[in-house]
Structure 1
Amino acid sequence: MLLRLRVSLPDRPGGLGRVAKALGTLGADILQVTVLEREAGRAVDDFTVSWPGQVTPAEAGERLSVVPGVRVEGVWTTKEVPGSALDYDLLSHVVAEPGRGLATLVDALPGLCGAEWSLAVADGMVRHASLAAPESFELPAPPPRAVAVDARELRLMLLPVLDHGVHLVVARAAAGPVFHRAEIERAVRIVDVVAKLAARTVS
């Protein structure tokens, strides 16, 4: 089972090693580590691990939380294969078919953002949806800029694409953490590039 674990730990020599050792002791194989934040004496890191057996995200979090100084912010299943170049694959598809740029982006966002689904909303209607997305969605007050929203059962990232008159919604299960600002900034850059490529479509 592929899991992503977001942990906050003391930002000092050996801290990352202790987490890695604990994961190894629990039988998890670390496939990727992403540093999201380093400030105020702490670091926030995402670990993508292969965990043997049928451990649940909650169980994995409980096992890791016993490491001194470590705070588990979320554990959730992921389909993102470490080492894959999903962002480059996305851009290649958009360059080949810019007219489908936004639809291709919506399909790719769950994999790029460690999320369950995404969709594009315009004028109160879902214009395109990825697999597992709902057929309808009531957008909160459309934000003028990208934001993270902690909904009751979902963690949402709202991404306006103003030049195209749509808002993108990316949803992560509540077992995962709220979207980090580093994740939002990355998504904003990807959306901006795709939107510009899609705008070049010759009618």
Structure 2
Amino acid sequence: MLLRLRVSLPDRPGGLGQVAKALGALGADILQVTVLEREAGRAVDDFTVSWPGQVSAAEVRDRMSAMPGVRVEGVWPTREMPGSAPDYDLLMHVAAEPARGYATLVDALPGLCGAEWSLAVADGAVQHASMAAPAEFELPQQPPRAITVDAKEMQLLLLPVVTAGLHVVVARADGPVFHRAEVERAARIVDVVAKLAGRA
């Protein structure tokens, strides 16, 4: 089972090694570590791990939170395989078929963002939707820039595409709030797709 763990830990020598050792002792195989931030004496890291058998997010959180100074901010299933480059793959597909750019973007964003679904809304109607996305969706707001919104047990990432009159929505139910590093990455990807699709 592939899981992503978001962990806040003291930013000091050996801190990351202690978390890695604890994960190994619990039977997890660490496949990738992404540093999201380092500020005010703390670091926030995403670990992608392979966990043998089934394990609940609550169980992982309880085991890891027993470590002094460690806070588990989220545990959720992921489909993103470490070592792959899904953002580059997405951009290559859009470059090859720019007319399908937004549909391709919406299909790819759940995997890129560790989310459940994505859709694009224009004039109150869903224009494109990934699997598991609702057929109808009402934007809670129409922001001029990328923002996150906490909505009904779900975290939303709202990404405006001003040139196309669209808002792209990414929804995560199991994981934590979208980190600003995730927001910036998704916003850059949307900007590049918008430029490629605009040439169609």
Normalising by structure 1, what TM-score? 0.97
1:6 maps onto 2:15 in alignment = no
SS of corresponding position for 1:187: helix
Query: How large is the Cα RMSD of the aligned pairs?
Result: 0.7
1:40 maps onto 2:55 in alignment = no
Partner of residue 112, structure 2: 112
Percent identity over the alignment is 80
> Comparing 144-153 with 163-172, which one deviates more in the overlay?
144-153
Partner of residue 128, structure 2: 128
Superposed displacement of residue 122, structure 1: 0.5
Amino acid at match of 2:101: G
Task: Measure, in 2, the Cα distance between the counterparts of 1:155 and 1:52.
Answer: 28
Where do 5+ consecutive residues of structure 2 fail to align?
none
1:137 maps onto 2:137 in alignment = yes
Partner of residue 63, structure 1: 63
1:187 maps onto 2:186 in alignment = yes
SS of corresponding position for 1:38: strand
Partner of residue 99, structure 2: 99
- Number of positions where the alignment pairs a residue of Structure 1 with one of Structure 2: 200
Partner of residue 18, structure 2: 18
SS of corresponding position for 2:175: coil
1:76 maps onto 2:76 in alignment = yes
Partner of residue 152, structure 1: 152
Q: Deviations over 1:67-120 (max 9, x none)?
A: 111000010011111111101110110011000001100000011111111000
Amino acid at match of 2:4: R
Superposed displacement of residue 63, structure 1: 1.0
Superposed displacement of residue 152, structure 1: 2.3
Superposed displacement of residue 185, structure 1: 0.4
Superposed displacement of residue 134, structure 1: 0.8
Q: Deviations over 1:160-184 (max 9, x none)?
A: 00100000000011x3110000000
Amino acid at match of 1:21: K
Superposed displacement of residue 62, structure 1: 1.1
Task: Measure, in 1, the Cα distance between the counterparts of 2:156 and 2:6.
Answer: 17
SS of corresponding position for 1:120: strand
Normalising by structure 2, what TM-score? 0.98
> Comparing 27-36 with 150-159, which one deviates more in the overlay?
150-159
Task: Measure, in 2, the Cα distance between the counterparts of 1:72 and 1:189.
Answer: 27
SS of corresponding position for 1:67: coil
Superposed displacement of residue 141, structure 1: 1.4
Amino acid at match of 2:68: P
Task: Measure, in 1, the Cα distance between the counterparts of 2:3 and 2:57.
Answer: 7
Amino acid at match of 1:140: P
